[in-house]
Copies of this chain bind each other. A is one copy, B any other.
């Protein structure tokens, strides 16, 4: 674990990725082994200030069991979600962390991770959970920007599960579904290539489409806040925010990692993780006769 000095840091976080692709996959997110964690963490620059007072490690996700591509539909989410549980359990058992931050916009395996971590009194935050809760603090309704049809409907399920249906103004897709190998041959719809263009200051269709989707969410759907569903689109946050502000829309634009870090810190500070009644152990000391909605 990193140490920023001699005394124990207040925050000791495990950042757990959703999945790993093989170095040979050609996927832009794959060939990152061996490099410093800052380089391996997507969009590190955007969250660097939030990590400044955190001892953090970046744990690799499980090798994607379904193939060498990014998780997108419900089946893939179920598979990597299950595969990630052991990593989270091990992180909890290690005693090295005081919070678990799950990477991955569609938060694979999150409810089970939270159940596991509860036994260690460790908070777990994840991208959909964190964005929705922060968005609800900032506005009445949030709009979601997604990148693929199947992913959108997985995210729809998450909105229901987190009980934010009445706060969600809608999910809009910009139609940049994740590529499948071989990579590098579908430039026009490659969200990673878009990121590189945008970072280089070039025109990016993804930025244009995401901005247009955000404007439509505001003007047509009634959104007060914008969030992103897939971690592959989190890099868009500052670009879309800037564009909206230029247009004159003063709406907060969130992403999954920064909000997950902020809420993890808040939970650590408050000494809370989750209600033991919602994530009970197998044989809890006290049992409730009835659970209501």
Interfacial residues, chain A to chain B (CB-CB below 8 A):
49-50, 65, 72-75, 77-79, 81-83, 85, 109, 111-112, 115-116, 129, 133-134, 136-141, 148-150, 152-153, 156-157, 159-161, 163, 165-173, 175, 177, 216, 218-219, 221-222, 224-225, 247-252, 254, 258-259, 261-263, 265-267, 269-270, 272-293
Partner of A286, one of B216, B249, B262: B249
- Kindly list 18 other residue pairs between chains A and B, CB separation below 8 angstroms, not including A79-B85, A249-B286: A65-B82, A72-B282, A134-B270, A140-B156, A148-B282, A149-B284, A150-B284, A153-B291, A156-B291, A156-B293, A173-B287, A173-B288, A175-B287, A216-B289, A224-B275, A224-B278, A254-B272, A265-B269
Q: Which chain B positions have C-beta within 8 A of A258?
A: 269-270
CB distance from A191 to the nearest CB of B (A): 15
The 3 A-B pairs at the shortest CB distance, nearest first, are namely A250-B276, A82-B82, A248-B285
Partner of A288, one of B133, B149, B254: B149
Q: Which chain B positions have C-beta within 8 A of A259?
A: 270
Most B CB contacts (10 A, CB to CB) among A83, A148, A149, A250 go to A250
Q: A115-B73, A280-B153 are in contact. Are A289 and B137 (CB under 8 A)?
A: no
> Can you list 8 pairs linking A and B with CB atoms under 8 Å apart?
A149-B282, A149-B284, A153-B278, A170-B290, A172-B291, A218-B288, A222-B290, A250-B285
Q: Which chain B positions have C-beta within 8 A of A263?
A: 137, 266
Please, how many angstroms separate the alpha-carbon atoms of A290 and B250 in the complex?
Answer: 16
- Cross-chain contact A286 with B150 (CB below 8 angstroms): no
Q: Which chain B positions have C-beta within 8 A of A177?
A: 282-283
Smallest CB gap from A286: residue in B: B248
- Cross-chain contact B153 with A225 (CB below 8 angstroms): no
Please, how many angstroms separate the alpha-carbon atoms of A78 and B287 in the complex?
Answer: 23
Q: Which chain B positions have C-beta within 8 A of A74?
A: 111-112, 115, 279
Smallest CB gap from A52: residue in B: B10
- Cross-chain contact A278 with B170 (CB below 8 angstroms): no
- Cross-chain contact A266 with B262 (CB below 8 angstroms): yes
CB distance from A291 to the nearest CB of B (A): 4
Please, how many angstroms separate the alpha-carbon atoms of A220 and B280 in the complex?
Answer: 18
Please, how many angstroms separate the alpha-carbon atoms of A19 and B36 in the complex?
Answer: 41
Please, how many angstroms separate the alpha-carbon atoms of A177 and B82 in the complex?
Answer: 23
Q: A133-B136, A270-B134, A282-B177 are in contact. Are A288 and B219 (CB under 8 A)?
A: yes
Smallest CB gap from A155: residue in B: B291
Q: A249-B286, A286-B247 are in contact. Are A139 and B262 (CB under 8 A)?
A: no
Q: A139-B277, A168-B293, A218-B277 are in contact. Are A75 and B266 (CB under 8 A)?
A: no
